[in-house]
Amino acid sequence: MKTTQILIAGFGGQGILFSGKFLAYKGLTEELQVSWLPSYGPEMRGGTANCNVILSDTPVGSPIITTPDVLIAMNLPSLEKYVNSVVSGGQIYVDSSLISAKVERDDVEVFYIPATQMAKDEGISSLANMIIVGHLLENNPELSFDGVAEVVEKLVPPKKAALKELNMKALSLGKDYKK
């Protein structure tokens, strides 16, 4: 039995919910049990947003994550809020263009990715989230980068077909990022 609990947190507008949705669909295409739970309400309109994604090979119990295996922090308040909730041996992905602080734990694996800056440089400034997702899929032992194209195909509506390529580009940037 293996369950991966992923908590993604940041500002509204950073694509927090979308990246969660992407991971949930990724699990779906791998025949896993999944749950995706967003924060909702006025905070969605510009405040903080977060999203709980659980991928498991057995039925998901509570969809609410209290001790994530993986944290994606897209802003400082989110990192500060959740850094100590990550399980020992877990992973933390930090957008280091927005967060200069370092994680002061030695029992977790930390990945610093200047995702927002990378996205800006590549002219895909709204897709920093997908750069981090690409890096996560490449570096998490429970997940896999294979098959992302199928998920992009599923998630990006036909009306916004141009975004497919850009999402793929962001995912690849993340995959190939080396510190």
Partner 1 sequence: MAERILMKGNEAIAEAAIRAGCRHYFGYPITPQTEIAAYMAKKMPKIGGVFLQAESEIASINMVYGAAAAGMRVMTSSSSPGISLKAEGLSYIAGSDVPALVVNVQRGGPGLGGIQPSQSDYFQATKGGGHGDYRMIVLAPASVQEMASLTIKGFDLADKYRMTSMILADGTIGQMMEPITFEDAEITTYEKPWALTGTECKRKHNVVNSLYLKPDELERKNFERYEKYAEIEKNEAMWEDYMMDDAEICVVAFGIASRVAKNAVAMARAEGIKVGLIRPITLWPFPNAAFEAADKAKAFISVELSMGQMIEDVKLATKCQKPVYLCNRTGGMIPSPDEILASIRNAMKGE
The nearer residue to partner 1, 29 or 144, going by C-beta atoms, is 29
Instruction: Kindly tell me which residue out of 45, 66, 141, 158 binds partner 1, with binding defined by CB under 8 A.
Output: 66
Does position 88 bind partner 1 by CB under 8 A?
A: no
Per-residue contact flags (x/-) with partner 1 for residues 14 to 43, judged by CB under 8 A: -------x--xx--x----xxxxxx-xx--
3-state helix, strand, coil in the chain (%, to 5): 40, 20, 35
- Cα–Cα distances (Å) from 58 to 18, 51, 63, 64, 140, in that order, read 24, 20, 13, 16, 19
Q: How far apart (Å, rounded) are the C-alpha atoms in residues 130 and 158?
A: 19
Per-residue contact flags (x/-) with partner 1 for residues 94 to 113, judged by CB under 8 A: --------------------
Q: How far apart (Å, rounded) are the C-alpha atoms in residues 92 and 64?
A: 18
- Cα–Cα distances (Å) from 8 to 37, 68, 85, in that order, read 11, 10, 13
Does position 46 bind partner 1 by CB under 8 A?
A: no
What are the structure tokens assigned to 104, written together?
Answer: 């002061």
| Shortest Å, Cβ 140 to partner 1 | 20
Does position 63 bind partner 1 by CB under 8 A?
A: yes
Instruction: Kindly tell me which residue out of 13, 46, 47, 64 binds partner 1, with binding defined by CB under 8 A.
Output: 64
The nearer residue to partner 1, 153 or 176, going by C-beta atoms, is 153
| CA quadruple 18, 16, 85, 90: dihedral sign | positive
Judging by DSSP bridges, how do beta strands 109-113 and 48-56 pair with one another?
A: unpaired
Q: How far apart (Å, rounded) are the C-alpha atoms in residues 43 and 74?
A: 16
Q: Which span sits near partner 1 by CB under 8 A: 8-16, 56-64, 88-96, 136-144?
A: 56-64
| Shortest Å, Cβ 117 to partner 1 | 31
| Shortest Å, Cβ 59 to partner 1 | 9
The residues of the shown chain that bind partner 1, judged by CB under 8 A, are 21, 24-25, 28, 33-38, 40-41, 60-64, 66
